[in-house]
Amino acid sequence: MQQDEHKQLANFLRNGDYQSALDFLEEIEQKAKDDSDYWYYSAHIARKSGDLKRAEIFCKKALELSPDSRNANFEMGVIYQTNGEYKKAIAFLKKLIEPSKDISWTDTVDTLNSLALTYKKMRDWDNALKYYNLALETLAQEIYENIKRNSLNEVQMGTKTTEGWMRLAVGIVVKNAAKDGITEAMVPDGETATKLLQENPLLGVAFYDEGNKRYILPAYFSAFANALKSSIFFANIVNNLGTLYAEQGDYKQARECFQEAIEFTPAGVRYDDPHIALRSLDK
């Protein structure tokens, strides 16, 4: 399929206009029916339309043409997950989480999130929690690397009432500090923070290394929080964690997750799920 055809289909799917997508696929069928992506899109639309039988048939055709297609393997995993065939779903999704420079972090987060959801549907709480946390760690690692690569201008952020994001932000610094041979990574206490600011104009600096210590500075937390709120990824995963805790009967943890999902929903994005879940807990 041509790049412009991919863009056209992606636009239809983004807007939920499945009929237009189907019409477009019909137009290009003769020249595209030997293309794996043609059948992948057909499978995706069939699944979204609730026709899982046809979705599976189409996806198998896509995989026959391109067994290593990431899109087709992911789609097949989701088809089996939706159909309640969880072991088959896990087999397809696990193939997609092997480290590779060719795999984007967004694809990896999507796969880990879907894998966690599959385990949750199986009521395998431990594995569901494991893969939700891996999804959060993958997201945090991408944000951490972006902060290291780019200069920071903003050091202020709105008041955050939840704490899970802060633990995530600190945890990923600690993990990366260990890789760098730094034995301690911490938020400086008041006296140390005052000293650092007096000795160095550290506004806009994320970290400050002194011997074997790495101090995590305010600009880092500001940039991290802003990055979390720049897309729906964090809110979605945290909301899913909330549903996991709620199903286990841990309503305190569930409530904290739903509140955090609401707090970090990007401006202008409508995301009703955590609001509905929180109201259900209140009842």
* pLDDT 10s digits, 211-256: 898 988 888 888 999 999 999 999 999 999 999 999 999 999 999 9
Considering the domain architecture, whether residues 64 and 78 belong to the same structural domain is answered as yes
> Of 59, 91, 123, which one is at a domain's C-terminal end?
91
149 with 184, same domain? yes
CATH classification at residue 28: 1.25.40.10
Percent of the chain surpassing pLDDT 90: 60
**Average pLDDT value for the chain:** 88
Same domain, 81 and 133: no
pLDDT at 163 (0 to 100): 87
One domain, residues 109 and 141: yes
Please indicate, yes or no, whether residues 64 and 84 belong to a single structural domain of this protein. Answer: yes
Whether residue 58 sits in one domain with residue 178 = no
44 and 69 belong to one structural domain:
yes
Task: Say if residue 146 is in the same domain as residue 231.
Answer: yes
Give the pLDDT of residue 201: 58
| pLDDT tens for each residue of 121-130 | 999 999 999 9
pLDDT computed for residue 160 by the predictor: 67
**75-94 pLDDT, tens digit each:** 999 999 999 999 999 999 99
Domain match, 153 and 212 both: yes
- When pLDDT is cut at 50, 70 and 90, the band that residue 120 belongs to is very high
Are 78 and 145 contained in the same domain?
no
Query: Residue 25 pLDDT more than 70?
Result: yes
Domain boundary among 68, 91, 114: 91
3-state secondary structure the chain: CCHHHHHHHHHHHHCCCHHHHHHHHHHHHHHHCCCHHHHHHHHHHHHHCCCHHHHHHHHHHHHHHCCCCHHHHHHHHHHHHHCCCHHHHHHHHHCCCCCCCCCCHHHHHHHHHHHHHHHHHCCCHHHHHHHHHHHHHHHHHHHHHHHHHCCCCCCCCCCCCCCHHHHHHHHHHHHHHHHCCCCEEECCCHHHHHHHHHHCCCCCCCEEEECCEEEECHHHHHHHHHHHCCCCHHHHHHHHHHHHHHHHCCHHHHHHHHHHHHHCCCCCCCCCHHHHHHHHHHC
Domain that includes residue 71, residue range? 1-91
Q: What is the pLDDT of residue 78?
A: 95
Supply the pLDDT for residue 30: 85
pLDDT above 90 for 43:
yes
pLDDT score recorded for residue 203: 58
- Domain end, chosen from 91, 110, 130, is at 91
Number of domains in the chain: 2
Residues 80 and 161 placed together within one structural domain of the fold: no
Whether 85 and 102 map to the same domain: the answer is: no
The mean pLDDT of 110-135, rounded to a whole number, is: 96
| Residue 161: predicted pLDDT | 76
Residue 105 pLDDT: 86
pLDDT in tens, 146-171: 998 876 665 555 556 788 999 999 99
The string of pLDDT tens digits covering residues 52-77 is 999 999 999 999 999 999 999 999 99
Query: Taking 60 as the threshold, does the pLDDT of residue 193 lie above it?
Result: yes
Residue 199 is predicted with a pLDDT of: 60
**Confidence at 2, pLDDT banded by 50, 70, 90:** confident
pLDDT, tens only, 246-256: 999 999 999 99
